[in-house]
Amino acid sequence: MRLSLSKSEYQALLRQDLYFFIEWCFRVLNPRTAFKRNWHLEILSSTLEACRRKEETRLIINEPPRSLKSHCVSVAFVAFMLGHDPSSKIICVSYSQDLWSR
């Protein structure tokens, strides 16, 4: 389904909906790769949004490799959170140096 939105409506949607923001970030960072919508991304984005609103205070994410965990959490969510509250304190930790050396 394709939405027909004005530029200002689309920008408002990106500011309010983490799932759409995750998709937009993916398309900007990976212009030659198709973004494949999936239910696990909707659940992840709604759970991350609950964390941002401080409704969830602890979260462990267990998903298989290549399921966009790092993109959703370490890239898009951090940007989304800082956009809503620039004074947020965020620590990103990875098990592997390779993730950040690309």
Residues 80, 52, 76: CA angle, nearest 5 degrees: 25
10-43: pLDDT as tens digits: 899 999 999 999 999 999 999 999 999 999 999 9
Q: What percent of the chain has a predicted confidence (pLDDT) above 90?
A: 72
The pLDDT assigned to 3 comes to 66
Residues 51-78 have a mean pLDDT of 92
Nearest to 51 by CA among 69, 15, 78: 78
Ordered by start, the domain boundaries in the chain are 7-99
